[in-house]
Structure 1
Amino acid sequence: MKINRVRYLRGPNYFNYRPMIWIELDLEELEFQPSSKIPGFADKLLEILPGLAKHTCSRGYEGGFAERLREGTWMGHILEHMAIELQIMAGIDVKHGKTITGGEKGIYYVTYEYKEQKSGFLAFELAMDIAGKILKSGKAAPDISGSVATLGTAYYENKLGPSTEAIYEAALAMKIPAERVRKDSLLRLGTGSKQKWVQATITSETPFLAVENSCDKQATKDILQSCGLPVPKGEAVTELSGIFKASKSIGYPLVVKPLSGRQGQGVITNIMNRDELFNVVNCLDKHVKDYIVEKYYEGNDYRLLVVGKKLAAASMRIPPFIIGNGQDSIRKLIAIENTNPLRGEGHEKPMTKIPLNYTVSCFLEKFDLSLDSIPEKGQVVQVVGNANLSTGGQAIDVTEEVHPEVAEIAVNAAMAVGLDVAGIDFISKDISKPFDPANSVIIEVNAAPGIRMHHYPSKGKSRNAGKAIVEHLFNSRGEAAIPVIAVTGTNGKTTTTRLIKHLLEGPGKTIGMTNSDGVYIGNRCIDEGDCSGPISARKVLANPAVDLAVLETARGGMLREGLAFRHCDAAVVTNVDEDHLGLDGIDTFGQLVKLKRLITEVVIDEGHSILNADDPEVAKMAEYTKGQVIFTSLNEKNEHIQQSITNGNPAWFLNDDGWIIHAEIGGELVRFLPAAEIPVTIEGSARHNIANLLQALAAAKSQGAELEILKEKSLTFIPDFRYSKGRFNILEIKGRNVIVDYAHNIAGLQAVFGTVAALKKNRLLTVLSAPGDRLDSDIMEMGKISASQTDLFVIKEDSDLRGRKPLEAAFLLEKAALHYIQREKIHIVPEELEAFRKAWELSVPGDTLLLLYEEFTKVKEFIAATDSKTSIDR
């Protein structure tokens, strides 16, 4: 077996709305060995991965996969299930997968869900390794415990931290865009001009000075004390000798902690006398120079989470302890406790493993104990001087027990320091009672407080602190996400996208756009080339200047990475024709329709799906969207248009008199403009552009655009190189009409030649190439369409052959063309610019030249050399 290609489908995709890994797998010799023909394979696999027995597979019931395994299934399918099960065993919550047979023998497209990229792919590599060992091992089943441990380590090392992950999941649940930036725990919440940032639990609303103050424990105390908030008596010292001096003025019991410490590291509590203090000082970290010495308060240790001036959650924290058995040392008892499945490294589990470091040794020292001491049976030994989860403590939810006075003090403390999200460490004998200054005190105010304890308490109710933080930043999805209009289809995507942008542009509004020739922020092009994929879309969605995004969403990008957005406000589907079949597992027209349908499936409930009712497959997409459907049609008698009018739903269509009509909500019909008066329709002859315009009008109106503004905008969209570069641009050069277009498939050519027929006066000279990734039959059909409409045919070749041999596609075009025109009227000129020049040499005044380009730069070069008066860069 070998892996040919790997893709990470980060957004909603053909297979699932969740992130999926796509792998092109070549089974090689295993193509001829289904599992039923490999002796003992099924039994061994189920022995080492018993969870596979519960997989339902396509049969829909538990045990379905095991049945298929014994009946006989292929290794690609088996590896899919193994990769899922290995992730589950490593503690990763996944379940979805699908394997598709490729067009070539032995090729399979394996897809399965993943949570984190590195561990997701590692699961497949481990599955291949395990399967290989089973095939070679004879009767013995391999030990996979090491593989599972390796996978779990990779996952927890690379995933988001628990606090950031909680915020991320909460945002997605609220349909608020959330994207991890870089490898650390940095999140962009929202899009465009509405975006905000979160790292751990520090937000873009958190003042820098507040974080600085909270990191300086003495500064925090001074601020709180100045506001009359309760803090322990204490002093900051800069030398170890100062600790003893401070102890005299403060009095025992004491707490000693680093001035700038975090996560409870180096904190020693309840020091009862000078002898204990002496033991503590002797084992303090010598690298720490500055300490705080404070009065120790007897009581419970609470963490109060304040978010946006509200108490969001509260936990009582219990320091880590062990219970003696009279035989084992404290060191061994800690090791035993650390095998508790609820404990893990760092923040991966609800509780952290108890450390075996100087902090534990130092704390035990004050009781004349060490890690090698053996406690008596039943003796409870606290092993760390604080209750932080990071040092092995436990948390019990007490949110509903907090007295209002205590909650008010916690909120005031966060406000005093200036934090919008704060963890208030509070000592009190009973937090359910009114505040008592004699035995209650604030010991710390923390920026970036961990919220794991609130989501996964050792006891008590889980609190969705992540959601509280997201709701603090945004009241709704509308406050977080700029409107997104996605446009897909086989033909007309670019023109429709450009039209929508033009119709919606206005003072004070910056529109971001991606299409097949670039990425635009307002009128500024920030990237050139085919930018109709998710990488380009994310540039627009991440740009803080953008107020609305119009995104051309092509087939290739959806297959490579999925969508760049999880939800959109409007989806526009122009049409679906048989194009690009036989690529990446999309072999049938039905599969292509399903792929294009994806953008309608992710429309928000309040959104809109604008569907071309003249295309039966597009019209059927109405069944799959949650948004309001707006049909468009070139035929007022179209059944979907008539049904929309009857039901009082909006629609846009062309009536028999050539007027564009808007059916408003409620059924009223409003005459918009005669289609022939709108420049992009080429005096009404470009019916494909009328169809594009109808959809653009529907999309713009769905976003609140007024009809009078839309009329004005429609009349100012000129199909020239400024507004509609490369899409049926017409130039008059030295007595010849030169038409430039990008039609590169059967339906596109039919639309273009239909418009050209209404315009040409004398001969038509066509320059055309065929993309190499089309089927032979499609290329020949393109040749027939072109040759049947043209007088002279110049055949060129794309610079990207897409797997074809040189001139292979050109000869197919020629072969088809010979059925319609004589050989002497066909010229094969491979290089695009030279082909344009050849057509010009063959033309005479009065002729029409149709230049169907691959690279627009070649069009620019040709026109610059032929007509210096015409400027494309406008």
Structure 2
Amino acid sequence: MRINRVRYLKGPNYFSYKPTMFIEVDIEDLEFQPSDTILGFNETLVKALPGLEKHTCSIGYEGGFVERLNRGTWMGHILEHVAIELQTAAGIDVKRGKTITGEKPGIYYVTYSYKEAKSGLYSFEAAMEIAGRILKGEKAINAGHYIDQVADLYFKHKLGPSTEAIYDAATQAKVPVQRIGEDSLLRLGTGSRQKFVQATISSQTSNIAVENSCDKQLTKEILKSCGLPVPEGKVATSMEEIFEMAARLGFPLVIKPLNGRQGQGVITNIKNKDELFNVVNCLEQHVDKYILERYYEGNDYRLLVVDDSLIAASLRVPPFIIGNGKDTIQTLIKEENKNPLRGDGHEKAMSKIPLNHIVSCYLEKLDLTLHSVPDKGKIIQVVGNANLSTGGKAIDVTDQVHPTIKNIAVTAAKAIGLDIAGIDFICKDISKPFNNVEMAIIEINAAPGIRMHHFPSEGKKRDVGKAIVDYLFRSREESAIPIISVTGTNGKTTTARLINHFLSKEGVTVGMANSDGVYINNVSVDEGDCSGPVSARKILSNPAVDFAVLETARGGILREGLAFQQCEVGVVTNVTEDHLGIDGIDTFEQLVKLKRLIPEVVMEDGFCILNADDENVAKMADYSNGQIIYTSIDQENPNIRKAISGKMRAWFVDDSGWIVYASQGILLRILPCKEIPITIGGSARHNISNLLQAMAAAYTQGVPLNELKQKALSFTPDADLSKGRFNKQEMKGRTIIVDYAHNVAGMEAIYDTVSDFDKKRVITVLASPGDRKDEDIKNMAYTAAGHTDLIVIKEDDDLRDREQYEVANIIQAACLEKDMIKQQAVVVLNELDAFKKAWELSEPGDMLLFFYTDFDYVNEFFELVGKHQLQ
């Protein structure tokens, strides 16, 4: 068995709306060995992973997968279930999977859910290894190692609990959210409405406030100046200063690093000089500057403030062990760290208790070491603070906080200038009114951890992540720029360009990604085929963009899924047979389902614009939550008539050739088609269809009808506004038309448009992408042969795994089948040379159709003609 390809489908995709792993696997000779023919395989596999017995599979009930195993299924399907089970056993909540049989024997496309990429892929690699070991004859497989490795990878690379809580809250609120890099930076929102959060610092958090909070002494001075209670204390840099200050303050004391974080190096309740000496002597090699301050007797509380409101409060309990009379403190800590609720760093609800110099220093205060053996039943605190980062636990007390203490917490956050703050507060009883003698603010923390509030050891969970998201955005509309996504087989680029043209105006920045580039306010920032998710994200991530117009092609959806979870407007132009036989999309029905993804992700208050002239597109209305807007070049189309009678929105062309907008039963005539340049005098029916959908999309986004009229009349099908889409030039008595049509439907639309043009002969320059099926390539050739007098056959620079001349020979042979002779179907492989040959064969009065692949060759050709270098 071997893996041929791996794809991480991060956004909504053909298989699921959630992240999906796509793996092309070759099971080789196992293609001829279904599971019921492999002696002992099923029993050993289920024994190694008993959770497989709960898998329902397509049968729909528990035990369904095992039933399939015993009845006989293939290794691709088995690997899918094992990969899911390894993740599930590792504590990762995944369920869905699907395996598709490839066209070639032994090839399977395995898809399954994943939460984190590295653990998701490893689960499949581990599944292959487990299966391989069983096939080699091993009778007992311990899957624990593989499960542990999946878990380790997952917790190592996933978001930390605080960031994850914000991520989940944003997702729940339908606020677009994206992890940036490998750490804890999140982008919330899109385009000009985006904001950032790192841990719990937001892009609205004051930098100077963060700096102030990191300097503990400065924090105390600011709070004290506002009349807020803080422990008396000073900064010390030497042993001498420490003892001088201790004498002045009196015991008990607290000592901590001046710029410490997460409770590291904090030692509390130092009762005398001897304890102080032991502690400082131990810490000395790790700390340069200390704060020495008065110790307050009481409980340690964390008060969480967001946007001037107390959102959560926790009682923090320092980590401790209970002696058993035989094990050392170190052994007891190690045993406690095996608690499944504890993990490294912040990966789980509680952190492991550290075994480092901080613990040693605290124990030194108690005249103990890590090797001391406490008496049975003796409770020993092992860290000098109650931070979760140092192994403490939290008990929710939000509902117990007295109003006066709430006010103190909010005032403290304001004093420092933090919009999100963690207030460390000491008092004996948080439910009692504030008392400045017995209560004090110990610290104020920027980027406070919210794990303790989401996963308290006891008490009610508090959704601080939601509070932070609600603070940043009052609604999804505040967070997300409108996305207009255009999909289909043909016309996507023209429709996207028209929408971009209609939306563009002074003071509004439109971002567009399509098949020839990425544009911000019509300035190209990237070139090439940019109709996939990578380019879409460039638009959605740009802080200047107010509207996103995204051409969404099949290839990008299959490679990575969508770049967005939902869109405000979804447009489907048409669906015709194209690119079949690639990536498991073998049938027309599968292609329709793929294109249908865009209607499926339209928001409930969004708009789904469907070409009613395409029956398969019109049926997509049943799968969309958005308001349906049909378009048609025929006013008698049944869906148009139904929309008008139902007082729905619709755009269509009436019998007199005018574009009409229907709404609430009222019909408004907009423009005659023949006056609009993109319609080529009304003859380019495919462009009329594109125009209707573009006008419909722009109107939903507030572009007035009068403005739509003006913009429609100003959009010309030239290389500036519509590069490579029916660009027409008259040169030396010839008419040259350049278009990107690369399938039968696109070619027929062009031939239909030029059918009434005055011309002597039609000369077509034609190629086909190499990844098409032979039959599709032949059909393109048949179409050209039926409409043209001469064909110059070229090949693309990228042969897409074909041999040179392979595609050209298929086209030429198909042309000869249509009674053309070789002089009428000439092969010239290079695209520019093919254009030159067509020109050489032409005469004044001829029409030349250049179905191009690379527009640079088109420009070079026109330059040669313009310089009279071609006769």
Q: Compute the TM-score of the two structures, normalised by the length of structure 2.
A: 0.98
Aligned pairs for 1:245-264 within 5 A: 245-264=244-263
Q: CA RMSD in A?
A: 1.2
1:35 corresponds to 2:35:
yes
Aligned pairs for 1:145-164 within 5 A: 145-164=144-163
Residue aligning to 2:106: 106
Which amino acid in structure 1 is aligned with residue 60 of structure 2? G
Residue aligning to 1:116: 116
Residue aligning to 1:640: 639
1:386 corresponds to 2:385:
yes
Residue aligning to 1:592: 591
What secondary structure sits across from 1:176 in the alignment? Answer: coil
User: Could you tell me whether the CA contact under 8 Å between 1:795 and 1:814 is conserved in 2?
Assistant: yes
Residue aligning to 1:513: 512
User: Could you tell me whether the CA contact under 8 Å between 1:788 and 1:820 is conserved in 2?
Assistant: no
Aligned with 2:697 (options 686, 696, 699): 699
Aligned with 2:769 (options 768, 771, 774): 771
Residue aligning to 1:73: 73
User: Could you tell me whether the CA contact under 8 Å between 1:266 and 1:285 is conserved in 2?
Assistant: no
Shift, 1:194, TM fit: 0.8
**Counterparts of 1:614 and 1:240, CA distance in 2:** 86
Shift, 1:869, TM fit: 10
Residue aligning to 1:23: 23
What secondary structure sits across from 1:333 in the alignment? Answer: helix
Residue aligning to 2:45: 45
User: Could you tell me whether the CA contact under 8 Å between 1:769 and 1:852 is conserved in 2?
Assistant: yes
**Counterparts of 1:700 and 1:544, CA distance in 2:** 22
**Counterparts of 1:573 and 1:364, CA distance in 2:** 69
**Counterparts of 1:359 and 1:835, CA distance in 2:** 77
Deviation track 1:714-766 (CA, whole Å, cap 9, x = no partner) reads 00000111110000011011111110001110100110000011223221111
Deviation track 1:423-480 (CA, whole Å, cap 9, x = no partner) reads 0000111111211111111000001111110110001111111111111111111111
**Counterparts of 1:342 and 1:821, CA distance in 2:** 77
Residue aligning to 1:663: 662
Deviation track 1:818-856 (CA, whole Å, cap 9, x = no partner) reads 214333222111111111111111111111111110111
**Counterparts of 2:703 and 2:594, CA distance in 1:** 30
Aligned pairs for 1:263-342 within 5 A: 263-342=262-341
1:239 corresponds to 2:272:
no
Residue aligning to 1:678: 676
Which amino acid in structure 2 is aligned with residue 207 of structure 1? S
Deviation track 1:666-688 (CA, whole Å, cap 9, x = no partner) reads 11111011111111000000000
Shift, 1:374, TM fit: 2.1
**Counterparts of 1:231 and 1:522, CA distance in 2:** 54
Change (3 A) 1:497 1:412: same
Residue aligning to 2:407: 408
Aligned pairs for 1:612-627 within 5 A: 612-627=611-626
Q: Count the aligned residue pairs.
A: 868
Residue aligning to 1:854: 853
Shift, 1:868, TM fit: 4.6
What secondary structure sits across from 1:629 in the alignment? Answer: strand
Deviation track 1:305-362 (CA, whole Å, cap 9, x = no partner) reads 1111111111110011112222222222212211111111111111111111111121
What secondary structure sits across from 2:302 in the alignment? Answer: strand
Which amino acid in structure 2 is aligned with residue 716 of structure 1? S
1:488 corresponds to 2:487:
yes
Residue aligning to 1:750: 748
What secondary structure sits across from 1:283 in the alignment? Answer: helix
**Counterparts of 2:659 and 2:84, CA distance in 1:** 53
Residue aligning to 2:562: 563
Which amino acid in structure 2 is aligned with residue 482 of structure 1? I
The range that moved more, 798-807 or 335-344, is: 798-807
What secondary structure sits across from 1:794 in the alignment? Answer: strand
What secondary structure sits across from 2:276 in the alignment? Answer: helix
What secondary structure sits across from 1:626 in the alignment? Answer: coil
Residue aligning to 1:179: 178
Shift, 1:799, TM fit: 1.5
Residue aligning to 1:126: 126
The range that moved more, 788-797 or 103-112, is: 788-797
Which amino acid in structure 2 is aligned with residue 693 of structure 1? L
What secondary structure sits across from 2:208 in the alignment? Answer: helix
Which amino acid in structure 1 is aligned with residue 324 of structure 2? N
What secondary structure sits across from 1:789 in the alignment? Answer: coil
Residue aligning to 1:525: 524
What secondary structure sits across from 1:653 in the alignment? Answer: strand
Which amino acid in structure 2 is aligned with residue 828 of structure 1? V
Residue aligning to 1:719: 717
**Counterparts of 2:824 and 2:366, CA distance in 1:** 102
User: Could you tell me whether the CA contact under 8 Å between 1:745 and 1:782 is conserved in 2?
Assistant: yes
**Counterparts of 2:429 and 2:85, CA distance in 1:** 46
Shift, 1:398, TM fit: 0.9
**Counterparts of 2:36 and 2:789, CA distance in 1:** 62
The range that moved more, 699-708 or 324-333, is: 324-333
Which amino acid in structure 1 is aligned with residue 660 of structure 2? I
Which amino acid in structure 1 is aligned with residue 395 of structure 2? I
User: Could you tell me whether the CA contact under 8 Å between 1:784 and 1:820 is conserved in 2?
Assistant: no
Which amino acid in structure 2 is aligned with residue 391 of structure 1? T
Same amino acid, percent of matched pairs: 64
The range that moved more, 150-159 or 712-721, is: 150-159
Shift, 1:46, TM fit: 1.0
Deviation track 1:645-683 (CA, whole Å, cap 9, x = no partner) reads 11111010011110111011x111110111111110000
1:468 corresponds to 2:459:
no
Residue aligning to 1:143: 142
What secondary structure sits across from 1:814 in the alignment? Answer: helix
User: Could you tell me whether the CA contact under 8 Å between 1:255 and 1:267 is conserved in 2?
Assistant: yes
Shift, 1:366, TM fit: 1.8
**Structure 1 unmatched ranges of 5 or more:** none
**Counterparts of 2:85 and 2:583, CA distance in 1:** 25
Which amino acid in structure 1 is aligned with residue 709 of structure 2? K
Which amino acid in structure 1 is aligned with residue 105 of structure 2? K
Residue aligning to 2:426: 427
Deviation track 1:273-323 (CA, whole Å, cap 9, x = no partner) reads 122212222211413110001111111111011111111111110011112
Which amino acid in structure 2 is aligned with residue 65 of structure 1? F
Which amino acid in structure 2 is aligned with residue 80 of structure 1? E
Deviation track 1:209-263 (CA, whole Å, cap 9, x = no partner) reads 1111111100100110111111011111111322111111111110000000011
**Counterparts of 1:488 and 1:556, CA distance in 2:** 11
Residue aligning to 1:817: 815
Residue aligning to 1:366: 365
Q: Compute the TM-score of the two structures, normalised by the length of structure 1.
A: 0.98
Change (3 A) 1:228 1:385: same
**Counterparts of 1:756 and 1:778, CA distance in 2:** 23
Shift, 1:515, TM fit: 0.7
Change (3 A) 1:707 1:820: farther
Residue aligning to 1:580: 579
User: Could you tell me whether the CA contact under 8 Å between 1:727 and 1:741 is conserved in 2?
Assistant: yes
The range that moved more, 637-646 or 679-688, is: 637-646
Which amino acid in structure 2 is aligned with residue 360 of structure 1? V
**Counterparts of 1:401 and 1:759, CA distance in 2:** 83
Which amino acid in structure 1 is aligned with residue 853 of structure 2? E
